[in-house]
């Protein structure tokens, strides 16, 4: 019974075909590329919102973009 619980908690991709990954791959790729684009700005934002605003970043837009990246990457990861 413990093995079944661990299998259920960890999940498995056995039995999945590449077609499943192909349907999710564009979302993962878009999230990955967008995350690379905003990575430097997120580093500035990690110094504090006031500092980021002082350096000219639009923090609201950056937070929205980060949220979109999170949704794309986590949604793509669990969809398989």
Domain spans of the chain, in order of start: 17-79
Residue 19 — pLDDT band, cuts 50, 70, 90?
A: confident
Contact 72, 31 (CB under 8 A): yes
Distance CA 51, CA 62 (A): 14
- Predicted pLDDT of residue 13: 67
Distance CA 8, CA 55 (A): 47
- Token code pair at residue 25: 């791959």
Distance CA 42, CA 2 (A): 41
Q: 37-80: per-residue pLDDT in tens?
A: 999 999 999 999 999 999 999 999 999 999 999 999 999 888 87
Residue from 68, 24, 75 nearest 42 by CA? 68
């Amino acid at each position: 019974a413990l093995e079944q619980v661990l299998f259920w908690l960890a999940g498995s991709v056995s039995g999945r075909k590449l077609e499943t990954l192909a349907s999710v791959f564009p979302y993962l790729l878009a999230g990955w590329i967008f995350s690379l684009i905003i990575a430097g700005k997120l580093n500035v934002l990690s110094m504090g919102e006031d500092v980021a605003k002082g350096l000219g970043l639009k923090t609201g837009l950056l937070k929205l973009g980060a949220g979109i990246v999170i949704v794309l990457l986590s949604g793509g990861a669990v969809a398989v």
